[in-house]
Amino acid sequence: METRQKVFSGLQPTGNIHIGNYLGALKNWVSFQDSYETVYCVVDLHAITVPYDPVEFKKDRIAAAKVLLAMGIDPERSMFYFQSQVPQHAELSWILGTMTPTGVLNRMTQYKEKADKVGANLGLYSYPVLMAADILLFNADLVPVGDDQRQHLEMARDLAERFNNRFGEVFHIPEAYIPDVSARIMSLTDPQVKMSKSDANPKSMVLVLDVPDAINKKIKSAVTDSDPGVRYDPTEKPGISNLLEIMSACTGVSIDALVDEYATSGYGVFKQAVADVVIEEFAPIRVAYERLDDADVARMMHKGALDARIAAEAYQAKVRAAVGLDRI
Ligand code: TYM
């Protein structure tokens, strides 16, 4: 029997799923379903490492699941569930935590940034260990993520090697899958910084569920520069280069071909073309989202978690046996 390579990835359920998430990772999640065995997870345990409102959070969790389903995550083809409903994630995280040097965690740039903003806590500190557990739990081969997760992926690989060296070959060493174009979509209001869900300025990001008018306004008011040529130069022209990446990733047309087409058209025409492409990309997702019923989706996610618990348990039994925690 053919065994397909396994893909795992996760998305934090915060309200603002944006075009960076979509083009950096989620678009690949959908297409990987055609050729891989895919496991996708709404990582709600990761999301509670920063301050949050439980009532809003409950809505955001189901909304995130709905966005992913609306994009084309197909529960018939992918294992799809909430992380908190599969306790093996937390169990493996604890075991991996016992072999994670704190010096490594101290160097994690996302931890340092978030701890500066919201205050440090143990969950935030061990966030990358839980992420490694997510990936290793199902023995994933490939992990589609944006560029900002590179360091976390390196750590997951190191932990897998460390574990295998000490306890025998249990884990595959996973590879990150980071797209060439759109691995790091920048803020529309400050193209020097990454587009981020936690940005307080709503104009900094196009949301997957934005209506066409909002997409139009945000892209048309995107910060660019005063030299009018459309060229790809992330250092000198970060705003225009960001829009070129967005357009290229949505259409599949190369950046060079887009530059040829829009080099002299002026920013107004170019921005309108980018807005039109993004509106077209997101329109079917919004329509599909509106059709989904919360209670149906909750049931679907329960079913996904049941399947995932059974699959995870088979792997986790091997981990327990390797470390001497097997059931006796
Ligand atoms: P999260 O929820 O912050 O983001 C989801 C995905 O979106 C990518 N991303 C971006 N890509 C391009 N440009 C951007 N501006 C941008 N912003 C975000 C992220 O790289 C990510 O792939 N730690 C993960 C969640 C996670 C996970 C995992 C991922 C938990 N466990 C296991 C993979 C495997 C995160 O914070 O994603």
Residue range 244-280, pLDDT digits in tens: 999 999 999 999 999 999 999 999 999 999 999 999 9
Residue of 196, 105, 97 lying closest to 154 (CA atoms) = 105
- The reported pLDDT for the residue numbered 242 is 98
- The reported pLDDT for the residue numbered 2 is 55
- Catalytic-residue membership of 194: yes
Judge residue 121's burial from the number of C-beta atoms within 10 Å of its C-beta, 0-12 exposed, 13-18 middle, 19 or more buried.
middle
On whether the CB atoms of residues 132 and 162 are closer than 8 A, the answer is no
Which residues have a Cβ under 8 Å from the Cβ of 215 and sit 6 or more positions away?
206, 275, 278, 279, 282
- The reported pLDDT for the residue numbered 269 is 97
- Catalytic-residue membership of 66: no
Residue of 71, 70, 66 lying closest to 301 (CA atoms) = 66
Q: Is 78's C-beta closer than 6 angstroms to any atom of ligand 1?
A: no
Q: Is 43's C-beta closer than 6 angstroms to any atom of ligand 1?
A: yes
Q: How far apart are CA 201 and CA 196, in angstroms?
A: 10
DSSP H or E segment with residue 24: none
Q: CA 154, 157, 162: angle at the middle one, nearest 5? A: 125
Residue 219: how many other CB atoms lie within 10 Å: 24
On whether the CB atoms of residues 227 and 237 are closer than 8 A, the answer is yes
- Catalytic-residue membership of 197: yes
pLDDT tens across the length of the chain (328 residues): 557 899 999 999 988 999 999 999 999 999 999 999 999 999 999 999 999 999 999 999 999 999 999 999 999 999 999 999 999 999 999 999 999 999 999 999 999 999 999 999 999 999 999 999 999 999 999 999 999 999 999 999 999 999 999 999 999 999 999 999 999 999 999 999 999 999 999 999 999 999 999 999 999 999 999 988 999 999 999 999 999 999 999 999 999 999 999 999 999 999 999 999 999 999 999 999 999 999 999 999 999 999 999 999 999 999 999 999 998 7
Radius of gyration of the chain (CA): 20
- The reported pLDDT for the residue numbered 158 is 98
Tell me whether strands 6-11 and 37-42 are parallel, antiparallel or unpaired: parallel
Residue whose Cα lies nearest atom 7 of ligand 1: it is 21
Q: Which of 9, 49, 67, 145 for mutating ligand 1's site (highest number of atoms within 8 Å of CB)?
A: 145
Q: How far apart are CA 60 and CA 42, in angstroms?
A: 10
Q: Is 131's C-beta closer than 6 angstroms to any atom of ligand 1?
A: yes
Give distance in angstroms: CA of 261 to centre of ligand 1.
32
- The reported pLDDT for the residue numbered 166 is 98
From the DSSP assignment, how many helices (H) and strands (E) are in the chain? 15, 5
Q: Which of 149, 189, 190 for mutating ligand 1's site (highest number of atoms within 8 Å of CB)?
A: 149
Q: What is the pLDDT of residues 296-324, one digit of tens each?
A: 999 999 999 999 999 999 999 999 999 99
- The reported pLDDT for the residue numbered 328 is 79
**Residue 37 phi, psi (nearest 5):** -85, 120
